[in-house]
Structure 1
Amino acid sequence: MGVVPGQPLAVAHRAADLAHSLNVKLICAYVDVTSYLSEESDGRVEAHPIDPDGIDDDIEGISAGIKERLGEALDGSGIRWSFATLAGDPARALGQLAESTDASVIVVGTRERGFGARFEELLVGSIAVHLTHRQHRPVLVVPLAPHTRHHRQEGH
């Protein structure tokens, strides 16, 4: 399951339900898009920041926060689960993780709606669409409820 900071737990709950029904382990992965992977001369693969002089994001802190929030939602659910932080292009990283772990399915959530999300999708495209074009595993997209504005009716 691909996860992002602040993602509604509905995605984790659906992925947990699926993992339980398939009797498989749920692997939750956050992809740090501000870094890339490179193979070192000794064969090790290391993550490097795309912009070393850029803003120093606290990737470890972000990952720890996501893992803690997932733990609150998944611990005690009866499923086995783990968390990984990956680097690079989200669709490629999730596809490679799925391949290396022989995943049954890849689960992702939709983005929150709004101008910023629509603009971002125009620029980078949908991770789910990229996943379906780059690998052979099924992709489950969990829709997030659109934000609705509740208007208070007068006289009620």
Structure 2
Amino acid sequence: MSNPLIVVGVTSHQSSAVIDQALVFARKFDATLLCVHVDASRFVVETRDDGTVVAAPYDPDAGEAIDEVMDPAIVERAGAQAAAASTLIEFLETAGDPARTLGRIADERDAALIVVGARRASLGGSIREFFARSVAANLTHRQTRPVVVVPVETVGPKDALPWDEAR
């Protein structure tokens, strides 16, 4: 029987707290951590036998189909964190709607759970989330497996949020 799998959604500029927390779960479950980056500006044209994804932009004027490649900074940062935690780690670069893609990959790989980071609190982010919903919100409404949302900013119950100050 193989190790359980934990899927974590990663981005280039996210807090290291997301991968740190995913690693906590991976260690507790003796699981492999699968770091998945989803390019929301592109869609999958082809998935090759080796797992390489060929993606094209939604905007026809934005260019041609290309092989999706994981940002080396993500691989370096997450790889170092996993090595320090003595945890197996894999990387997958793909394209499409992040919530649907993370859910599909978790289903295909029979993941134990999905870990994502919460959005940073901002007035603009709240407006975007209202109209487009966050990846975390979409996952929690469309998944049959557990979804862990990692807070990326500590905000106490008495702290003002950016949209509170806009009133």
RMSD of the TM alignment (CA)? 2.7
- CA distance in 2 between partners of 1:96 and 1:27 (Å): 13
Runs of 4+ in structure 1 displaced over 3 angstroms?
Answer: 58-62
CA contact under 8 A between 2:70 and 2:91: conserved in structure 1? no
* Residues 43-76 of structure 1 deviation map (CA, whole Å, 9 limit, x = unaligned): x9742111132389x9967622222221232223
Q: TM-score, normalised by structure 1?
A: 0.80
Of stretches 93-102 and 67-76 in structure 1, the one that deviates more from structure 2 is: 67-76
Unaligned runs of 5+ in 2: 1-7, 160-167
What SS does the corresponding residue of 1:95 show, helix, strand or coil? helix
Of stretches 70-79 and 102-111 in structure 1, the one that deviates more from structure 2 is: 70-79
- CA distance in 2 between partners of 1:23 and 1:4 (Å): 24
1:74 maps to 2:82: yes
Unaligned runs of 5+ in 1: 149-156
- CA distance in 2 between partners of 1:115 and 1:60 (Å): 32
CA contact under 8 A between 1:28 and 1:83: conserved in structure 2? yes
What SS does the corresponding residue of 1:85 show, helix, strand or coil? strand
The Cα of 1:118 is off from its aligned counterpart by 1.3
Of stretches 95-104 and 121-130 in structure 1, the one that deviates more from structure 2 is: 121-130
Aligned length: 144
Aligned partner letter, 1:108? V
1:101 maps to 2:109: yes
